[in-house]
Structure 1
């Protein structure tokens, strides 16, 4: 049983570190997603509300994971938990997981729709190749940032399962 507890603690720490890195990467990719047209106008993630939501969910997940990281390190080193921590992990991981899932859904849906609309607009007009390529590249980076956020969601969903196991072990449901 102690070996199982140690492996869950180690897995939790590794997943929290991966989640932190992945969410940071998603935020950086989305924050640097912009382009400037020949007429001087600039478009960035701030111009699309769903992209602002994607970056906000990434930042919230990053802050939560940063808050949880010292507790995960302490748990791996000492194999002891604070009394309230399993409950906090259980509910916090689930809430953040669902929040990241909504960010992923919004990012993919809006990018898909905008790409479809943009391509139909550019099909109607000739001579806009530079604008089309920059716009499509901008939307592709939105896909990339959202895909990275999806990886963060997967890590957080696995953490949610592990926190459920930790909580149930503490209450005596397993063994």
Structure 2
């Protein structure tokens, strides 16, 4: 009887840790999405003093970063729902070995996608030779938040990898 309590306690701690990592990822992805979405730069387009705003749509690296944020956000929202269900009920939504593989490979793919989105923006910034204005500063903040989101997703990936050998043996 003591063994099942210990096992249940370890599973609860493990599930809660993964949920916490997913919530933190969610928070940082939302903040990154907000910063890149509101990022604009007004420019004068003619002698008539007509102003136009440049946004993330004008820079391919920023569009790519936004795409990685949205994809990571959608995946993380799905996994957060699964994690909440697991913490509350004590059961997994995808309890088969395939579910564990989905968690592990999904976390791996999404974490690499998030780091590539962050790297694209930082690379663009270096290419522009560190021209600093409010437009690039907001994009840097978004890329930095995305980088932190990557770290949380990569850490969650490590935790999901711990479940794989146990399920393969059983």
Query: Aligned match of 1:6 in 12, 19, 31?
Result: 12
TM-score of the superposed pair, with normalisation by structure 2: 0.85
Corresponding position of 1:169: 166
Matches within 5 A, 1:94-105: 94-105=108-119
Q: Distance in 1 between matches of 2:99 and 2:72?
A: 18
Please report the RMSD computed on the Cα atoms of aligned residues, expressed in angstroms: 1.6
Matched residue, 2:3: none
Q: In the alignment, does 2:137 pair up with 1:140?
A: yes
**Match for 1:35 among 34, 41, 57?**
41
**1:26 corresponds to:** 32
Q: Normalised by the size of structure 1, how large is the TM-score?
A: 0.83
**Alpha-carbon distance change, 79 to 168 in structure 1, aligned in 2, over 3 angstroms:** farther
Preserved CA contact (<8 Å) 1:115 1:136: no
1:115: how far off?
4.3
Aligned partner (choices 122, 125, 128) of residue 114 of structure 1: 128
Equivalent residue in structure 2 for 1:56, among 46, 63, 67: 67
Note the C-alpha offset of 1:162: 0.7
* Distance across 1 between alignment mates of 2:163 and 2:20: 16
Q: CA deviation at 1:112?
A: 2.5
Deviation at 1:72, TM superposition (A): 0.6
Three-state SS of the structure 1 residue aligned to 2:54 is strand
Contact 1:111 1:142 in 2 (8 A): no
3-state DSSP of counterpart to 2:128: helix
Q: Deviations over 1:85-108 (max 9, x none)?
A: 211101100000110011111011
Partner SS state of residue 33, structure 1:
coil
Q: Secondary structure of 1:36's partner?
A: strand
Q: Distance in 1 between matches of 2:41 and 2:139?
A: 12
Q: Distance in 1 between matches of 2:155 and 2:65?
A: 20
What's the CA shift for 1:78? 2.6
Q: CA contact under 8 A between 1:115 and 1:139: conserved in structure 2?
A: no
Q: What are the superposed Cα offsets for residues 122-153 of structure 1, whole Å, 9 maximum, x if unpaired?
A: xxxxxxxxxxxxx6111111110000000100
Deviates more, 1:135-144 or 1:57-66: 135-144
Q: Where does the alignment leave 5 or more consecutive residues of structure 2 unmatched?
A: 1-6
